[in-house]
Structure 1
Amino acid sequence: MSRLRRAAAAALMLSFLVLPVLRGTGEDAGGARVTWKQVERYIETLKRALLAMQEPDGSLSYPFLPFYRPGMTALAGYALLEAGVPPDDPAIRAMETYCRMSLPDRYSVYSASFCALFLAKADVQRNRDVLERIAAYLVREQHSNGMWSYSAQGRDRRGISESGDNSNTQFAVLALKVLHDAGIEAPRRVWERVRKHYERTQNSDGGWGYADWHRQSSYCAMTAAAVASLWIIREVLEGKKKHCTEVKRDPVFEAGVRYLDEHFSPERSLISQWHTYFLYAMERAGMITARRYFGGYDWYRAGAAELVRRQSVSDPASAAFALLFLAEGKTPLLVQKLERPGGDWDNDHYDLENLTRFYSEATGRKVTWQLARVRGDASDLLEAPVLLISGRLALDLTLMERAALKEYLLNGGSILALPASDSAEFDRSFRRLMAEMFPDSPLMPLPKDHVIYRYHFKIPEADRPLIYTISQGCTMNILYVPRGRYTCRWTTEDHSGHAFEMGVNMLMFLAGDQKLKNRVDPVKFVPLAEMKERRNVRPPRGAVVIGQIKHSGQWRPLKHDITNLMRKLRDDAGVTVGLYPEPVDAEKDDLYAYPILYITGLYDFRLSDEACRRIREFVERGGFLFGDPACGRKEFDKGFRKFIARVFPGRKLEKIPIEHSIYTIGYDVRKVDFRPTVRSSLPDLSEPELEGVKVGNRYGVVYSRFNFSCGLDGMPAPICWGYAPEDSVKIAVNIILYALNN
C-alpha cells in the first residue's frame, strides 16, 4: 500500500471517530476564578430578585429604615437601568412614578440623591421638574463645612445632631454631577466647599474615615468614595475643555489613590456585611481613574468572584449595589493607554474618555477604556484590541516592555501611536523602536484614498492626516500619526474639525471584527518563548500534517492561520495533528507525505507544467487540495483559477451547492456572517460560497473566493475581504473534516 493510501486510510478511520464530537470548552463552576457566564447568570438573578421585591405601588421597601422607601426604589431602578432593563419597562415606569409622587414630602439626602440618579437615567426631560427640586434641596442641605448628612432634622429624624458624613456626601456629589450634566447646575460655592472638606479631612495615611464624630480612621470604602468625588469635583470646577495643556497634579487625590493601592485586598476589604456598598464605591474609583488594579488586585475580577461566591443579598440596597458593580463589566474594553514610569504618558488626560464616549454614540456600541502597564508579559495589554502609546519625550522602553509589545502584536493586538503636541522627540524614538522591532518591515505611509479615511466617517481630503503603518501580509496592526495633535484635540468637547471622526475610524480599523473581551475571563495567548519552541516540535506519529504549496505570489503571507486551524481540530474535534504546515515545492517534494495540501497568496502566480501535473496526479489518487486568496486579494483569485485550468485542462471550478454535506459535516455553516468589507458591497449575502473540482464522486479541490485564512490567523485584518472570524474558523474546520472523511 502506498504512503498516500496509508495516510488516506488512517485519516478515514480517524474521521469516523471524531466527526460527532466538536465539543466546547468546559466551564469552571467552582474555585477562585469566576467566569463571565457565571457573572451574567448572577446579574440576571439580581435583576429578578429586585423585581420580585417590588410592591404593587411600584416601590421597594428597606426593612431596616422604612423612611428610605423612595431612595431604595430609586436605587433599585437605577441599578436595573444600568444592567440593561429598558426605561419603558412597566416595572421601571412604576418606580419612576412612585419616586415622582413621593419625593416632595419625603426628602432625605440619600433618597434625593438616588432619585436624581434614577430619574435622570430614565428620562431627563420628562423628570426635569423633579430634578430641579432635588438640586435645590441638595444645595440647601449642604453644611457650611461642605458635607451632607442624612437630613436637616438629624440622622434618620431621630434628633441626632451631627455635622455630616462622607457616605451621604459621596452620593450628594454623584447626584449633583448627574444634574450638572443635565444642565441643572449647582452654584460654584457648593463644589468649592466640598473640595475644601476633602482636602481638610484627609488623614495622614492618605485615606478618609466616615466622619469626625464617628469612625475617623481611614478605610477603603470611604477613601474610594472620596477619590471618586474629588475627580468629579475637579471636572466640574476645571472642566474638560482645556486644549493641549499638561495635567495639573492633585496631591490630595493622588494620596487617596495610593491609600487604595496600599490597603485594598479581597481578603480584608470584602468581609463586611456592607461589602456590596464598598464594591460600588471601588467600581466608581476604578472607572473614574481608569485603573484595573488596586493593591495588585484586579478590583473588578476580585469583586465579581466574591459576589458570585456569596450570592447572598436579602435586601434591595445590597442587591442594587451588587448589580451596579457587576453591570459595569458588561461594557467591553476597546482601547487601553500604555502607562509608563513618570507622567509623560498622560499629557492629554481626557483623550480616551472623550473619544470612547464619542465612539459609543457614533456607532451605537457602548465601549470603554482603561490604563495598562507591562507586568512581565502581554497578558494585561491583550485585555483590549487597541493600545494607545503617546508622549512628548523620547519613548524609552525596557527590554521587558519591548518584548511584551512584540508579544502583544503577534497575539493579535494593535498599536495606535500619537505623539503629544506633535513632539519631534517622540517621533524619532518611535520610528527607531519600530525599526528595531521589525527590521524587515518599514513604516510606510498610507495613500490618501485608503479605506481608513472612510471606514465609518468620510473624512474630507484636506483633513486626512498622514498615517504610517507596518504591513505584514494582511495585517496592519500598527498605525502611527506623527502630526495632527489628536490626543490634544480629543481632550476638548469640540467635535468639529473631524478629529473625533478620524479617531473612530482608526479605532474601528484596528479593532476590526474582533470580539471585545469581557472583564472577567482570562486572556489566552502564546508567549514569545513558546512560539519559538513550538517550531522545533515534531508532529506526533500518525498526525495529520498539512503541506503548504510554495509559489511566486507570496505563498505564506500569514503566520498563524494553519496552526490555529490545526489547534482547533485538535482541541475541539480530537484530531491528532501536526500544528505547523510544512512548505512544499510541488515540482520536487514528495506530495504523498501529506493527505492535504493548502495554497494561498497575495498575488498572481505560476507553477511549472511539471508541478501542475504532479498536483493533478496527487488529487486524482485521493489527495485533497484547498485554498483561499490571502486578504481576499483578486490578483491571487485570478491566478488560482488559471492554475486550476492548467492542472485540470478543460475543467473549471464549480459552485458547491448549499445542500452539500461540507456545510454541515462539523458545524452548520449554511448561514454565515461576513466582514464589513464584504457587507458594504454585498449586504444581502448570507450563505458561504465554496467552489470545487470533482474527482469521481468527491471534491478533490475546494476553494473559497472569500477569504477565511485571516479569521484563522486571528490578527487584525481590517482590509480583508472574507468571512467574519468566527465563521472563517468553522468553514475551515468543515473543509478539513470533509477531506478526512473522503
Structure 2
Amino acid sequence: MVTAALAVGATAGLAPGARGDDISVTGAQRRVDRAVGSAIGYLAGQIGSEGRCKGEFDEQDKHYGGKTALCAYALLAAGVNRDQESLKRALKWLTQAELRGTYAVAMRACALALVKGKEPHPQLVKDAAWLQSAAAGDGSYTYTSQAKGEAGRYDNSNSQMAALGVWAAAQRGIEVPREYWRRTERHWKSQQQVDGGWGYVMRSGMGKTHTYGSMTAAGLATMYICFDVLHRDRYVRPTAAQYRPITDGLKWMDKHYAADHNPRKSLNYYYYWLFCLARVGLASGHKHFASRDWYAECLWEVLGRQNGDGSWADGDRIPQTAFALLFLSHGRQPVLINKLRYKGKWNVRPRDLAGLARYVHHTFERGVSW
C-alpha cells in the first residue's frame, strides 16, 4: 500500500494557494489574491511616517510595539518584500524600540525571523534570549517578564506567543536549550483538561477550566513544537505508540471544530482562532477536522467578512486584520505532499513529512504544507 502520494508542490511549480479541489479554480484564486492584496494595502497604510502603526500603545504600556510587530509579521508572512517602503520603516522602528511586553517581543521575533539573510538579525538573538528568561520557573508566561520566578499570574495566550517567538528564532539557527522546551512541555501538559482541550488559565486549586477553540489550537500547536524537539527521535522507527497530549487535543478539535466562530467562545477572538487553527493545520498536516476541510470552510467565512477597505472586524482592526492575513497566508502555502490515510496502521512515522516540509522550507526558502 502506498502511504504517501507526491503532490505537485513548491519545487514543481504549484501556484501558491492551490489545495486540491478547494480554491484551485482560477476565479476563486483571484478572489483570494484580491483579499490578500487588499489586506496588505490596509496594513501597510496603517504604518506611519516614523514607522510605527497608527494607534500604537503608549511607550509605558506593556503592549508597546505589539501592533507594529504583529503588522510587520503579517506583511512578511504574506510575502511583502522587506524593502517595501512602509514595511521597511516599521522594521527599522521595531529594531530600535525598547519593547518590554511578552506579546510585543514575541511578535517582533516572529517578524524578524522572516527577514531573510545569512545570519539572523541581532535583535532576533536578543529577543530569543529575553523570551526564554521571561518565563516563570514552571514554563508559563504573563504580559511581562517573570525572570524565572515562581509563577504567579499567567495565561496560556502569552505562553503560546512566547513559545512561538522562541521557535521562530530557533528556525533561524539560534540555539535554544532543550530544557526550555521541557519546561514548556510540562506547563502545557499540566494545563490540558480531561476533555483534551485547553483554556486561558488554570491556576493551582482551580481543578479545571473552560476549554475553547483558540486556546486548544494554541496548546496543540505548542505541543507539536515540543514533540518535534524532544520526542521525534523515538518515532524514527515505525511505532504505533501515540503522544497523548496531541491525540487528545486532536479529538477535541474533531468534536468542537467550527468555521464561523471560535468554538465554545462564540465570536470572541474569532480571527485569533483562525490564526491558531492555521498553525495546527500546518504543524499536523491535517486537512480535515470533524471530517470537514477546515481551510476551505474558514476561507469563505473570511472572504465574506472582509471590509471594503481590506480590513476585518470593527473597532481596533489592525490586530484582527493581521490575524486574518496570517490565516490566509498560511493556508496559501503550496502542498508539497499528501499523506494518505487507510485502514490499519497508516501513521507509524507520524512526523516524517513534517521533517520533509521543514527541509524543503529551509532549502528553497519557501514555506510549504503537507
TM-score by length of 1: 0.41
What's the counterpart of residue 354 of structure 2?
353
Aligned to 2:244: 251
Instruction: Give 1:50's aligned residue.
Output: 43
Partner of 1:168: 158
Of 115, 125, 132, the residue aligned with 1:132 is 125
Hey, what's the Cα distance between the residues in 1 that align with 2:37 and 2:355? 30
- Give the letter aligned to residue 316 of structure 1: I
Alignment-mate amino acid for residue 287 of structure 2: R
Aligned to 1:328: 330
Deviation (angstroms), 1:284? 0.4
Q: Distance in 2 between matches of 1:111 and 1:57?
A: 18
Shift of 1:48: 0.6
Instruction: State the SS of the aligned residue for 2:114.
Output: helix
The letter of the residue matching 1:347 is V
Contact 2:261–2:270, Cα closer than 8 Å, also in 1: no
- Which position in structure 2 is the counterpart of 1:36? 29
**Once the 2 structures are TM-superposed, how far is the Cα of residue 181 of structure 1 from its aligned partner?**
2.2
Distance 1:322 1:39 in 2: 12
Task: Give yes or no for contact 2:196–2:245 (8 Å, CA) kept in 1.
Answer: yes
Match of 1:406 in 2: none
SS of 1:339's partner is: coil
Residue from 133, 136, 141 that aligns with 1:143: 136
- Counterpart position of 1:178: 168
Partner of 1:207: 197
Structure 2 counterpart of 1:74, from 56, 60, 69: 69
Look up the match of 1:304.
299
Tell me the residue number matched to 1:91: 86
Amino acid at match of 1:163: R
Matches for 1:504-583 after TM superposition, within 5 Å: none
* Distance in 2 of aligned mates of 1:193 and 1:74: 26
SS in 2 for 1:50: helix
Q: Sort the Cα spacing of 1:248 and 1:130 in 2 relative to 1 into closer, same or farther, 3 A.
A: farther
Name the aligned partner's letter for residue 270 of structure 2. H
Pairs within 5 Å for 1:261-340? 261-269=254-262, 271-311=266-306, 312-313=312-313, 314-340=316-342
Contact 2:260 2:301 in 1 (8 A): no
Please give the alpha-carbon distance, in whole angstroms, between the structure 1 residues aligned to 2:160 and 2:335: 27
In the alignment, the residues of structure 1 paired with residue 141 and residue 118 of structure 2 have an alpha-carbon distance, to the nearest angstrom, of: 27
Deviations 1:635-666 (A, max 9, x none): xxxxxxxxxxxxxxxxxxxxxxxxxxxxxxxx
Letter aligned with residue 199 of structure 1: K
One-letter amino acid of the structure 2 residue matched with residue 169 of structure 1: S
Tell me the equivalent position of 1:689.
none
Aligned with 2:225 (options 204, 216, 232): 232
SS in 2 for 1:269: coil
Where structure 2 has 5 or more consecutive residues not aligned to the other structure, the ranges are 1-26, 307-311
Q: 1:257 to 1:242 in 2, by over 3 A?
A: closer
Letter in 2 for 1:129: P
Deviation at 1:127, TM superposition (A): 5.1
State the SS of the aligned residue for 2:339: strand
TM-score where L is the length of structure 2: 0.80
Matched, 1:117 2:110: yes
RMSD: 2.8
Name which structure has the greater RCO, CA cutoff 8 Å, separation 6+.
Answer: 2
Q: Is the 8 A contact 1:357 1:368 kept in 2?
A: no
Contact 1:70 1:98 (C-alpha < 8 Å) held by counterparts? no
The alpha carbon displacement at 1:185 in A equals: 2.3
Measure how far apart 1:326 and its partner are: 0.6
Rounded to whole Å, the distance in 1 between the matches of 2:234 and 2:273 is: 32
Deviations 1:660-706 (A, max 9, x none): xxxxxxxxxxxxxxxxxxxxxxxxxxxxxxxxxxxxxxxxxxxxxxx
The 1:290/1:209 distance shift into structure 2, 3 A limit, reads same
Change (3 A) 1:359 1:124: closer
Larger deviation, residues 181-190 vs 220-229? 181-190
Paired residue type of 1:339: R
Per the alignment, in what secondary structure is the counterpart of residue 38 of structure 1? Answer: helix
Question: What is the aligned partner in structure 1 of residue 5 from structure 2?
Answer: none
**CA-CA distance at 1:361 after TM superposition:** 6.5
Which structure has the bigger radius of gyration? 1
State the Cα deviation string for residues 399-434 of structure 1 (Å, max 9, x = none).
xxxxxxxxxxxxxxxxxxxxxxxxxxxxxxxxxxxx
Secondary structure of the 1:336 match is strand
Which letter does structure 2 place at the counterpart of 1:77? A
- In 2 relative to 1, CA 335–55 (structure 1 residues): closer, same or farther, beyond 3 Å? same
Counterpart of 1:460 in structure 2 is: none
TM-aligned CA deviation for residue 338 of structure 1? 0.7
In the alignment, the residues of structure 1 paired with residue 58 and residue 268 of structure 2 have an alpha-carbon distance, to the nearest angstrom, of 16
Which structure: greater strand fraction?
1
Distance in 2, Cα, partners of 1:125 & 1:363: 14
Q: Which runs of 5+ in 1 are unaligned?
A: 1-33, 155-160, 370-742
- What's 2:13 paired with? none
The alpha carbon displacement at 1:307 in A equals 1.2
User: Does the aligned pair in 1 maintain the 2:142–2:159 contact within 8 Å?
Assistant: yes
